[in-house]
Structure 1
Amino acid sequence: MVGERVLLKVSPMKGVMRFGKKGKLSPRYIGLFEIVERIGEVAYELSLPLGLSGVHRVFHILMLKKYHQGCAHVIQWDSVLLYQNLNFEEELVPILDRQI
Structure 2
Amino acid sequence: MTPFQAVYGYLPPTVSFYLLGSSPVHMVDVTLRDCDSLLMQLQKNMQLAQHRMRQQADKHRSKRTFRVGDLIFLKLRPYRQTSVFKTHCPKLVPRYYGPFQVIARVDQVAYTMDLPTQSCIHPTFHVSLLKPKLGTNVVASATLPSISSDGLFLWFPERILQHGMFKCDNKK
Question: 1:8: Cα distance to partner?
Answer: 0.8
Which one of the candidate residues 88, 113, 121 is aligned to 1:55? Answer: 121
Residue type at the aligned position of 1:43: A
Which one of the candidate residues 57, 67, 76 is aligned to 2:133? Answer: 67
Spell out the pairing of 1:16-95 with structure 2 (5 A cutoff): 18=85, 22-52=89-119, 54-68=120-134, 69-72=136-139, 74-77=140-143, 80-84=145-149, 88=153
Say which one has the larger Rg. Answer: 2
Alignment size in residue pairs: 85
Listed as ranges, the gaps of 5+ residues in structure 2 are: 1-66, 155-172
CA contact (8 A) 1:8 1:63 kept: yes
Question: 1:24: Cα distance to partner?
Answer: 2.1
Secondary structure of 1:33's aligned partner: strand
If the length of structure 2 is used for normalisation, what is the TM-score?
A: 0.41
Highest RCO, 1 vs 2 (Cα 8 Å, sep ≥ 6): 1
The structure in which a higher percent of residues are strand is 1
Q: Distance in 2 between matches of 1:37 and 1:84?
A: 28
Listed as ranges, the gaps of 5+ residues in structure 1 are: 90-100
Question: 1:51: Cα distance to partner?
Answer: 1.8
Q: Distance in 1 between matches of 2:150 and 2:100?
A: 19
Q: Give the share of equivalent positions with the same residue, in percent.
A: 28
Q: CA RMSD in A?
A: 2.9
1:11 aligned to 2:77? yes
If the length of structure 1 is used for normalisation, what is the TM-score?
A: 0.66
Question: 1:23: Cα distance to partner?
Answer: 2.9
The structure in which a higher percent of residues are helix is 2
Residue type at the aligned position of 1:65: K
Question: 1:19: Cα distance to partner?
Answer: 7.5
CA contact (8 A) 1:5 1:66 kept: yes
CA contact (8 A) 1:20 1:88 kept: no
Moved over 6 A (4+): none
